[in-house]
C-alpha cells in the first residue's frame, strides 16, 4: 500500500479518525459524542468503522436495500448522528466463534468462517475494497465522517494490513485524534510510544490527543501535558472526566467480571435505590455471549440490578433470569450443563426470558447440532423449560422486525408492537402434542417462532427490552416475583447521546486540533 496521501480516494466529506493507544480507551464514546455534537449544529455527519471485531451486532440496511449486520458501536453512533444506520458505516465485521476462528461479514453479509491467517491471506483485499467503496458512498452523502479506529493505532505487526486504522487514515485522507486512557496508568508514556511507532505519513495526520477517564483536578496534569507537547509537537486538546454517558457497550471487555462465584458483575447499582428495595435480574455469563446490550435498557430502570453470574452460581439471590444471545449455542449449552446452571434454572420459580441463543438453550433439544457447535453431535438436550426444538443450518436470517405483542407469561399485560432485529442461523418449532397441556403455552407472543409459558418466554427478537411496554411488563414481573413494590421512575435524564456530546463540547477543544472547520458555527447549539 502507498504510504502517502496519493492513495486517498476522491471524497466530498471531511473525515476525522478517532484512534487510540489501546482497546477500550474511550474511542466509541468520543466518536458518538462528536457525531451528536455535529448533528445538533446542523452538520450532516455519518459514523464509520472500516473493520470491527465484535459479537455485538445490530441490523442495518445494505447498499442493495436488504438487511445486514454491523457492529453495535456504529449503530449507536448512527443514532447519535441522527442518521439511518447502514452497513456502509461498518463494512467489515469479524465475529469471533472460538478456537481462533471468526465469521467474516462483508457489507452486512456473512461470507466465510476462517482463522486470522486465512482472513488476511484470502479475504483481506476483498474487505479493503468493500471498506473503500463504503467510505466513498458515505462521503458523497455527508459533510463529515467520524471514523473510529480499532485497538491501538500503533500495532506495528499489523501496519501493512490494519484496515480500521492505517488503511482507513490513508484512503479516507483523515485527520487523526488519539484517545489515551489515563485510568490505566502510564498515559503519557503510552501516547509517546504510540506516536513514535506510527508510520511517518500517519504521524503527520495527527491533529491532537485526548486524555480520557480522568478523575480529579485537571491542573495536576499540566506539567505532563506541557512536557509531552514539547517532546512530540502534538497538542493535548482535551481532558475528559471519568463519566459514563450510558452508551451501549461495544464488546464483552466492558462487561463486569463474572468469571468466578465471588466476582459477579452488577450493572444499574448507581441509581440511588437501596439494594433491599431493588430486584436482581440474573444473566449467565456465557463463554460466547453475544448481543448482551439487549440487557442495558433493564439496567437503566430504577431499582433494577442486572447481575452477570458465573455459570456455577446459585439462583436463590436473583428474582428473574435472562439468557442472552450466544455466538455458539451448542457449546454454551454444554458449558451451562457442565456447571449445573441448567438444573438451577429448572428449579428456579421466577420469570425467565431467553433471547435468540438463550431461547434455543431453553428448549427441549437442539438438532443438527454439529452445524452450530464443535464436534459431530446431531442432537443435544436443552434445558427443557420451553416445549420447542431448534434445528440449525448454514442459512442465516438477518432482518429488522416489527411484531405484535401478546402479553403473557413474563411479559403479562404488555400490548401493542415491539420492534427489534433478528440475527440467527436456527429455526425453532413447537413440538407436536405440546399445545393444550397442563402448562399453558402461547405461540407467537412476539412474532414468528416465539413461545411463552406462564413463567418462561423465548424469542428471537434482539432489542426486546427497548420497547417500553415489554420492558415495563418484565420489570413488573420481576418485582412481583421478589414481593417488592417497584419504585417511582427517576426524573428523565438527558439522552446518553447528548451526554456524550456534552463531554466532547465541554472538554475537547477541536479548534486547538485544527478541526474547528468541522463544527460550522462556533456557537454551541443544544437540543
- Taking the model in full, what pTM does it have? 0.65
**Parallel/antiparallel/unpaired status of strands 265-267 and 304-309:** antiparallel
pLDDT of residue 11: 46
Task: Return per-residue pLDDT of the chain as tens, 527 residues.
Answer: 334 433 444 447 899 999 999 999 999 999 999 999 999 999 999 999 999 998 888 888 888 878 899 998 998 899 899 888 899 999 999 999 888 899 999 999 999 999 999 999 999 999 999 999 999 999 999 999 999 999 999 999 999 999 999 999 999 999 999 999 999 889 999 999 999 999 999 999 999 999 999 998 989 999 999 999 999 999 999 999 988 887 866 555 455 554 443 446 788 776 668 889 999 999 999 988 888 778 888 988 889 999 999 999 999 999 999 999 998 899 999 999 999 999 999 999 999 999 999 999 999 999 876 666 555 567 899 999 999 999 987 788 888 899 999 999 999 999 999 999 998 888 999 987 555 444 556 778 998 899 999 999 999 999 999 999 999 999 999 999 999 999 876 544 567 888 899 999 999 998 888 888 877 644 433 43
**Residue tagged 413463567 (cell numbers):** 455
**How far is residue 366's CA from residue 428's CA, in Å, rounded to a whole number?**
9
**How far is residue 2's CA from residue 23's CA, in Å, rounded to a whole number?**
26
First-to-final CA distance of the chain: 43
Q: At what angle do helices 27-39 and 72-80 cross, to 10 degrees?
A: 30
**How far is residue 227's CA from residue 393's CA, in Å, rounded to a whole number?**
59
Q: What stretch of H or E contains 135?
A: helix 124-141
Q: Residue 9 has which C-alpha cell?
A: 480516494
Cα-atom radius of gyration of the chain, to the nearest Å?
24
pLDDT of residue 243: 86
* 448-498 pLDDT, tens digit each: 899 999 999 999 999 999 999 999 999 999 999 999 999 876 544 567 888
**How far is residue 383's CA from residue 341's CA, in Å, rounded to a whole number?**
9
* 42-59 pLDDT, tens digit each: 999 999 999 999 888 888
Whether the Cβ atoms of residue 50 and residue 163 lie closer than 8 Å to each other: yes
The catalytic site residues sit at 356, 462
Q: At what angle do helices 187-197 and 222-232 cross, to 10 degrees?
A: 10
Angle at 306 between CA 311 and CA 258, to 5 degrees: 35
Whether the Cβ atoms of residue 200 and residue 3 lie closer than 8 Å to each other: yes
Residues sharing a CB contact under 8 Å with residue 301, sequence separation 6 or more, in sequence order: 268, 471, 475, 489
Residues 442-466 as b/e (b if ≥16 CB within 10 A, e otherwise) read beebbbebbbbbebbbbbbbbbbbb
Starting at the edge strand that comes first in sequence, how are the strands of the sheet with 109-115 ordered?
Answer: 51-53, 92-98, 101-106, 109-115
Sequence-ordered alpha helix ranges (H) in 348-467: 357-362, 369-372
* Burial category of 322 from C-beta neighbours within 10 Å (exposed 0-12, middle 13-18, buried 19 and up): buried
pLDDT of residue 468: 92
Whether the Cβ atoms of residue 239 and residue 214 lie closer than 8 Å to each other: yes
Amino acid at each position: 500500500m502507498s504510504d502517502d496521501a496519493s492513495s486517498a480516494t476522491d471524497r466530498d466529506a471531511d473525515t476525522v479518525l478517532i484512534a487510540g493507544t489501546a482497546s477500550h480507551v474511550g474511542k466509541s464514546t468520543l466518536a458518538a459524542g462528536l457525531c451528536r455534537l455535529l448533528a445538533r449544529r446542523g452538520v450532516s455527519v455519518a459514523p464509520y468503522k472500516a473493520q470491527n471485531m465484535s459479537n455485538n451486532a445490530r441490523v442495518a440496511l445494505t447498499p442493495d436495500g436488504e438487511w445486514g449486520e454491523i457492529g453495535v458501536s456504529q449503530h449507536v453512533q448512527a443514532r447519535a448522528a441522527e442518521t439511518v444506520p447502514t452497513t456502509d458505516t461498518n463494512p467489515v465485521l469479524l465475529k469471533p466463534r472460538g478456537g481462533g476462528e471468526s465469521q467474516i461479514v462483508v457489507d452486512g453479509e456473512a461470507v466465510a468462517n476462517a482463522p486470522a491467517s486465512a482472513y488476511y491471506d484470502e479475504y483481506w483485499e476483498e474487505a479493503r475494497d468493500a471498506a473503500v467503496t463504503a467510505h466513498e458512498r458515505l462521503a458523497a452523502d455527508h459533510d463529515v465522517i467520524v471514523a473510529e479506529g480499532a485497538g491501538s493505532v500503533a500495532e506495528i505487526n499489523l501496519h501493512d494490513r490494519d484496515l480500521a486504522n492505517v488503511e482507513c487514515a490513508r484512503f479516507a485522507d483523515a485527520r487523526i485524534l488519539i484517545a489515551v486512557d489515563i485510568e490505566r496508568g502510564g498515559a503519557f508514556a503510552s501516547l509517546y510510544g504510540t506516536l513514535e511507532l506510527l508510520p511517518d505519513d500517519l504521524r503527520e495526520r495527527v491533529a491532537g490527543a485526548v486524555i480520557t477517564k480522568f478523575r480529579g483536578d485537571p491542573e495536576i496534569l499540566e506539567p505532563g501535558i506541557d512536557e509531552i507537547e514539547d517532546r512530540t509537537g502534538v497538542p493535548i486538546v482535551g481532558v475528559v472526566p471519568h463519566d459514563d454517558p450510558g452508551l451501549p457497550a461495544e464488546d464483552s471487555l466492558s462487561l463486569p467480571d463474572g468469571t468466578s462465584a465471588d466476582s459477579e458483575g452488577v450493572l444499574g447499582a448507581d441509581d440511588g435505590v437501596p439494594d433491599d428495595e431493588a430486584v436482581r435480574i440474573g444473566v449467565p455469563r456465557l463463554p460466547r455471549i453475544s448481543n448482551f446490550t439487549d440487557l442495558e435498557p433493564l439496567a437503566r430502570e430504577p431499582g433494577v440490578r442486572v447481575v452477570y453470574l458465573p455459570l456455577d452460581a446459585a439462583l436463590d439471590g436473583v428474582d428473574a433470569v435472562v439468557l442472552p444471545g450466544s455466538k455458539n449455542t451448542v457449546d454454551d449449552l454444554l458449558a451451562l450443563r457442565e456447571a449445573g446452571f441448567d438444573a438451577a434454572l429448572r428449579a428456579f420459580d421466577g420469570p425467565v426470558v431467553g433471547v435468540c441463543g438463550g431461547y434455543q438453550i431453553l428448549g427441549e433439544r437442539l438438532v443438527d447440532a454439529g452445524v452450530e457447535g464443535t464436534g459431530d453431535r446431531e442432537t443435544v438436550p436443552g434445558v427443557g423449560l420451553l416445549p420447542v426444538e431448534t434445528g440449525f443450518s448454514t442459512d442465516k436470517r438477518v432482518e429488522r422486525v416489527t411484531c405484535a405483542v401478546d402479553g403473557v407469561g413474563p411479559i403479562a399485560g404488555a400490548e401493542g408492537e415491539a420492534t427489534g432485529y433478528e440475527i440467527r442461523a436456527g429455526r425453532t418449532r413447537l413440538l407436536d402434542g405440546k399445545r393444550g397441556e397442563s402448562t399453558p403455552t402461547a405461540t407467537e407472543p412476539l412474532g414468528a417462532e416465539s413461545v411463552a409459558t406462564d413463567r418462561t418466554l423465548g424469542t428471537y427478537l434482539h432489542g426486546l427490552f427497548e420497547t417500553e411496554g415489554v420492558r415495563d411488563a418484565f420489570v413488573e414481573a420481576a418485582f412481583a416475583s421478589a414481593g417488592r413494590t417497584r419504585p417511582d421512575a427517576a426524573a428523565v435524564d438527558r439522552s446518553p447521546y447528548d451526554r456524550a456530546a456534552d463531554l466532547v463540547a465541554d472538554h475537547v477543544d477541536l479548534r486547538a486540533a485544527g478541526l474547528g472547520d468541522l463544527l460550522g458555527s462556533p456557537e454551541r447549539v443544544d437540543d
